[in-house]
């Protein structure tokens, strides 16, 4: 599998410090608005297919039970994914990969 990795940069000030603002809205996919921590400029917006945090599948099940969700509803929660060894391995490889010189838009177009 080949992939490219890049750290996002603010288009206004060139800073690499960003804040991710998650927007969760009923009936809409989860969106992430990326804002520059230095100047506050809009950097990017993503639509998520799935959200994976550091929570394991087991701890997600506990959280769902605590919130009164039935066992069946967990199968409907396709937007949430448990942390796994596979994710850990992908994260490690992503950190190790050389940073790409292309623009993010070019990276995306190259993989289409």
Contact between 13 and Zn ion per CB under 5 A: yes
Contact between 108 and Zn ion per CB under 5 A: no
Residues 18-77 that bind Zn ion (CB under 5 A): 36, 38-39, 41
Strands (E), 10-62: 18-23, 31-36, 42-47, 51-56
Residue 31 or 35 with smaller CB distance to Zn ion: 35
Specify whether the CB–CB gap between 53 and 88 falls below 8 A. no
Segment interacting with Zn ion, rule: CB under 5 A, options 3-11, 59-67, 79-87, 96-104: 3-11
CA–CA gap between residue 85 and residue 102 (Å, rounded):
30
Q: How far is the CB of 97 from Zn ion (least distance, A)?
A: 25
List the one residue from 4, 15, 61, 104 that touches Zn ion (CB under 5 A). Answer: 15
Q: How far is the CB of 72 from Zn ion (least distance, A)?
A: 45
CA–CA gap between residue 76 and residue 67 (Å, rounded):
15
Residue whose structure tokens are 């959200």: 51
CA–CA gap between residue 85 and residue 107 (Å, rounded):
26
Binding site for Zn ion (CB under 5 A): 10, 12-13, 15, 36, 38-39, 41
């Amino acid at each position: 599998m080949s992939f490219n990795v890049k750290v996002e940069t603010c288009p206004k000030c060139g800073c690499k410090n960003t804040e991710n603002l998650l927007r969760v809205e009923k009936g809409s996919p989860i969106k992430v608005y990326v804002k520059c921590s230095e100047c506050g400029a809009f950097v990017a917006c993503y639509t998520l297919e799935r959200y994976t945090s550091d929570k394991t599948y087991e701890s997600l099940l506990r959280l769902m039970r605590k919130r009164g969700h039935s066992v069946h509803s967990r199968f409907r929660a396709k937007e949430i994914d448990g942390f796994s060894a596979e994710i850990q391995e992908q994260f490690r490889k992503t950190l190790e990969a050389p940073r790409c010189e292309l623009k993010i838009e070019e990276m995306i177009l190259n993989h289409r």
